[in-house]
Structure 1
Amino acid sequence: MKILAFAGSNSSTSINQQLLDHVVGRIQGHEIKEVKLTEYPLPIFSIDIEKNEGIPINATIIKNLISDSDALVIAVNEHNGAPSAYFKNIIDWLSRAHRNFLEDKKILLISTSPGKRGAKSSLEYTENIFGRFGGEVVQSFSLPSFKDNFEDGKVTNEVLDMGIEDVLTTFAHQIGN
């Protein structure tokens, strides 16, 4: 299977990017393409921009990357209990480029934060809205207290590490491995 992986953060020091790199490194037997969404800048969504200039080419490129994959691994960051404005903007543009931009995609959602909830609010929000765009979140995982549970590119808490392994095993089964 072809898996596309990306983080919904535009931070150069994103802890969600670090978690994504770790999780993707544990997936075996699939073709994985990891992209950085910051390489595809988009203006803040505006109906006026869409009307006057059309859908930005980078939204179409991201949409095509998603279309060319069988499954997705997405790390969702959180700002004030919701996905970042950056990630929400990408979702807005993608939904305008093609309403069902996640059609028939099986998705693994992951998140982390410095806090004890591990960006769970953002993860739950994203899980709820992805169905509107044709996607199916088949697994999700939230890593709480990033600084206490992740070091040198690895999850240091054994229970949480086993949780990631369980999620990856189920995800692999869901996508056909």
Structure 2
Amino acid sequence: MKVIAFGASTSSTSINKALATYAANLVEGAEVVVLDINNYQVPMFSEDLEKEIGQAEGAQGFLNDLAEAEADAFVISFAEHNGHYPAAYKNLFDWATRIDREVFKNKPAVYLATSPGPGGAQNVLAAAVGSAPYFGGNVKASVSVPSFYDNFNFETSAVSNDEIAAELKQAVAQLA
């Protein structure tokens, strides 16, 4: 099984990328490909700009990497900025959906979210899960991880809270 993982964040120290990578590696025997959305530069979306330039190269690159990796499943962890998707991810996603609305091709996915605080980015996770069917998202499980720095050990790159670790393991088991 090939699993594509990424954090919907542009931070070089993204806790969401760390969480997505950790969770994807819980899938037994999986080959994990970790994407970095910083590799897909796109201008700010507008219909006027789309008419002028057509498809944004970065969005096409993102779609190509999702398709060319021949992924069997996705593990995506969403950062939350003021209760919503980070602008950079939302912009990339908007460009990508103008090229192919079915971005995730109905492949099984686990959606995650985390934050430094106790809310665990639940607002953005709910939005992502709720809108997934409109974009070819086939969400099998979703998990919000609160207080990331209290529940993740950076030395071992692993969740240190046994209850959360078990919940993540159960979630990714749904991908098989």
Pairing 1:1-177 to 2, within 5 Å after superposition:
1-67=1-67, 68-152=70-154, 153-172=157-176
Q: Report if the CA contact (8 A) 1:4-1:65 is conserved.
A: no
Spell out, residue by residue over 1:38-96, the C-alpha distance to the aligned partner (whole angstroms, 9 max, x if none): 01111111111110011111211111222332221111100111111111111101110
1:31 deviates by 2.6
Structure 1 stretch displaced more, 97-106 or 79-88: 97-106
Q: Percent identity?
A: 36
1:167 deviates by 1.1
Gaps of 5+ in 2: none
Moved over 3 A (4+): none
CA RMSD in angstroms comes to: 1.4
State the TM-score, normalizing by the size of structure 1: 0.91
Gaps of 5+ in 1: 173-177
State the TM-score, normalizing by the size of structure 2: 0.91
SS in 2 for 1:100: coil
Task: Count residues with an aligned counterpart.
Answer: 172
Structure 1 stretch displaced more, 131-140 or 64-73: 64-73
Q: Report if the CA contact (8 A) 2:45-2:94 is conserved.
A: yes
